[in-house]
Structure formats: C-alpha cells, structure tokens
C-alpha cells in the first residue's frame, strides 16, 4: 500500500465539502500504529502522550525529544497513513526561527509528513514561515490544551459571541497562512459549521460536531483505556477491563502454579 501524502489529504476538500470525512487517530508506539494504520488517513503523534503514557498532569512538560522518539516509532510502524507529529509546548512559540529549528528536527529525525501546532492568528506568521520552507503544518484551534493555564480549564470554547468570532477569524488566519488543514477542538457546534464552511482546507474535529471534514480521537480514549473521558468521546471497546482480566488470570495461574505448564517449558528432546 502506498502512503498517502499531505497534498492528497488537502485535495479531499478541493472545491467544497469533503465527500467522505477524513479519519484520524492518535498513535504513540510502533505496534499501535501498525494496528490502527490500515483504518486511518492520518495518524497523529499527539502531545496528549504526556498524560496518556507518561502520567503527566498536562501536555506542558512534554519535550521535543519525547515527541521525536514516539514520532519515529509511529513512522516505523505505519505504511499507509500520513503521520503528523505535535510540536510540544515551548518548542515553537517564541519565533518562526525557533519553530523551524524544532520542526526541522522533527521532520528529519522521525520521517513524518508534517507537524501540528496550537494557535490561531498569533501563529499565522510561523505557519507561513514553515510551510514556505517545506514543512507542512496542521493548525490546532478552538480549545488548545497547551494554553490550559490561560483558558482556565478544558471546557468547550466559543460560548460567547466574542469567542465565537475569535475562533472563526483564527481559522481563516491559519488557512490564509498556508496550513494544509486544522484540528478544531472543543467548540460549540455552530462554530464548527462556520469554520468548516469558511476555509478551503480540511477541518478535523474533536468535540466539534459532525459538521467537520474529518474526525480525530485519542486512541486510548475510544478504546476504553480510561475510566473518565470527555463528553465528546465515543467508546468502542473496554480494553482497561480486558487487560485487567488478563492480568488477574495470569496472577491466579502463577499463584496456583497453573502457569507455566507443559506447553511453555524447555526440555531436552528425547
């Protein structure tokens, strides 16, 4: 299977609405990428890995080296999807030059197809700088988790007219700057409709209704790895229970000397 490309993803919205919504999931490891890859158009190595696999309290402590290590693993484990890697907090906001230095490391050291960064109009100059220099950029607007301290929490955005207008103008600004697409997170449905209709690049929603050009979820959320998930998550499995049950059976087998058995033991051939 030939790998999809960023221009192929962008073309899916050429001249209007995306016919079939784009499918994106997060992946952090090679084996997880391998399993999810055939079903997706894009795999996102999200900085959500901070909470999901490192037990950090937010995405803020995630480092460029962490993103590069996991990005490279996901590229190695996938063959079909466009792999995008999140730029972590502190690695790109200071200037377009800082962003290029960080993003070019991500591109060179992981082999991914592009990067994602948080921010709207304030990041337009940086988005233009990177995209004009060969680095495809997906923007991330609406609820931007790296700004949790400024936003005051992870609640849905766009409840006031002011916020609504700000998010719509952010969408236009990042598209204008050359972003090949954008994630729109945690917003009122009305905003998703306006944003999706106002830009000619794909809008990938998370907690942003069915009006977007595609959807993304954190894989562990939709797999049921966590007891508590945001309202916008649909759970397709309960792997926390599956893993817990397997561990319980293994523990019981070891304690009762039911494992290992004949089948798992090395003996000299007779």
Q: Give the separation between CA 80 and CA 200, rounded to whole angstroms.
A: 24
2 is in an annotated binding site: no
Query: In this chain, which stretch among 31-39, 40-48, 234-242, 251-259 interacts with ligand KIV, using CB under 6 A?
Result: 40-48
Q: What is the DSSP string of 230-265?
A: -TT------HHHHHHHHHHHHHHHHHTT-SS-GGG-
Confirm or reject binding of residue 41 to Na ion (CB under 5 A).
Answer: no
Confirm or reject binding of residue 185 to Na ion (CB under 5 A).
Answer: no
Q: How far is the CB of 6 from ligand KIV (least distance, A)?
A: 17
Sequence-separated (6 or more) residues with CB below 8 Å from residue 116: 44, 84, 85, 86, 87, 137, 138, 139, 140, 183
Q: In this structure, how many other beta carbons lie within 10 angstroms of the beta carbon of residue 184?
A: 31
Confirm or reject binding of residue 213 to ligand KIV (CB under 6 A).
Answer: no
**With left for phi above 0 and alpha for psi between -120 and 50, is residue 58 left, alpha or beta?**
beta
Q: 82-86 and 22-26: which strand pairing?
A: unpaired
86 is in an annotated binding site: yes
48 is in an annotated binding site: yes
* Nearest partner of 5 among 42, 45, 44, judged by Cα: 42
* Distance, C-alpha 107 to centroid of its chain: 16
Which of residues 130 and 212 has its CB atom nearest to ligand KIV in the complex?
Answer: 212
Query: In this chain, which stretch among 81-89, 213-221, 246-254, 260-268 interacts with Na ion, using CB under 5 A?
Result: 81-89
Q: Per CB under 5 A, which of residues 85..144 are in contact with Na ion?
A: 86
* Distance, C-alpha 248 to centroid of its chain: 32
Q: Give the separation between CA 214 and CA 123, rounded to whole angstroms.
A: 22
Tokens of 223: 């797999």
Which of residues 86 and 220 has its CB atom nearest to Na ion in the complex?
Answer: 86
Q: Per CB under 6 A, which of residues 180..199 are in contact with ligand KIV?
A: 183, 185
Residue of the chain from 18, 26, 32, 194 that contacts ligand KIV (CB under 6 A)? 26
Tokens of 221: 């959320």
Residue of the chain from 99, 141, 206, 212 that contacts ligand KIV (CB under 6 A)? 206
Q: How far is the CB of 27 from ligand KIV (least distance, A)?
A: 10
Q: How far is the CB of 216 from ligand KIV (least distance, A)?
A: 5
Residue of the chain from 22, 25, 27, 46 that contacts ligand KIV (CB under 6 A)? 46
Confirm or reject binding of residue 40 to ligand KIV (CB under 6 A).
Answer: no
Confirm or reject binding of residue 220 to Na ion (CB under 5 A).
Answer: no
Which of residues 26 and 194 has its CB atom nearest to ligand KIV in the complex?
Answer: 26
Residue of the chain from 48, 78, 91, 126 that contacts ligand KIV (CB under 6 A)? 48
Cβ pair 139, 168 in contact under 8 A: no
CA distances from 120 to 132, 165, 175, 190, 214 (A): 18, 12, 9, 18, 19
Contact residues for Na ion, defined by CB under 5 A: 46-47, 86
Contact residues for ligand KIV, defined by CB under 6 A: 26, 44, 46-48, 86, 140, 183, 185, 206, 216, 218
């Amino acid at each position: 299977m030939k790998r999809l490309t960023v221009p192929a993803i962008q073309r899916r919205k050429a001249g209007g609405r995306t016919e079939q919504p784009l499918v994106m999931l997060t992946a952090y490891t090679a084996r997880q990428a391998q399993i999810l890859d055939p079903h997706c158009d894009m795999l996102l190595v999200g900085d959500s890995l901070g909470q999901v696999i490192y037990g950090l309290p937010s995405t803020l402590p995630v480092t460029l080296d962490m993103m590069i290590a996991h990005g490279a693993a996901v590229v190695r484990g996938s063959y079909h999807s466009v792999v995008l890697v999140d730029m972590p907090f502190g690695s790109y906001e200071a200037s377009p030059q800082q962003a290029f230095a960080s993003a070019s490391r991500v591109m060179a050291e992981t082999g991914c197809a592009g990067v994602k960064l948080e921010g709207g109009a304030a990041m337009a100059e940086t988005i233009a700088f990177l995209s004009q220099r060969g680095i495809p950029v997906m923007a991330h607007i609406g609820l931007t988790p790296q700004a949790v301290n400024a936003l005051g929490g992870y609640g849905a955005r766009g409840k006031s007219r002011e916020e609504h207008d700000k998010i719509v103008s952010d969408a236009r600004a990042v598209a204008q700057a050359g972003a090949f697409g954008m994630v729109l997170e945690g917003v009122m449905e009305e905003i998703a409709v306006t944003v999706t209709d106002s830009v000619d690049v794909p809008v990938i929603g998370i907690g942003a209704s069915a009006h977007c050009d595609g959807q993304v979820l954190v894989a562990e959320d939709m797999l049921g790895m966590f007891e508590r998930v945001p309202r916008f998550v649909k759970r397709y499995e309960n792997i926390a229970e599956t893993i817990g049950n397997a561990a319980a059976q293994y523990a019981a087998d070891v304690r009762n000397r039911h494992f290992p058995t004949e089948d798992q033991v090395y003996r000299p051939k007779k």
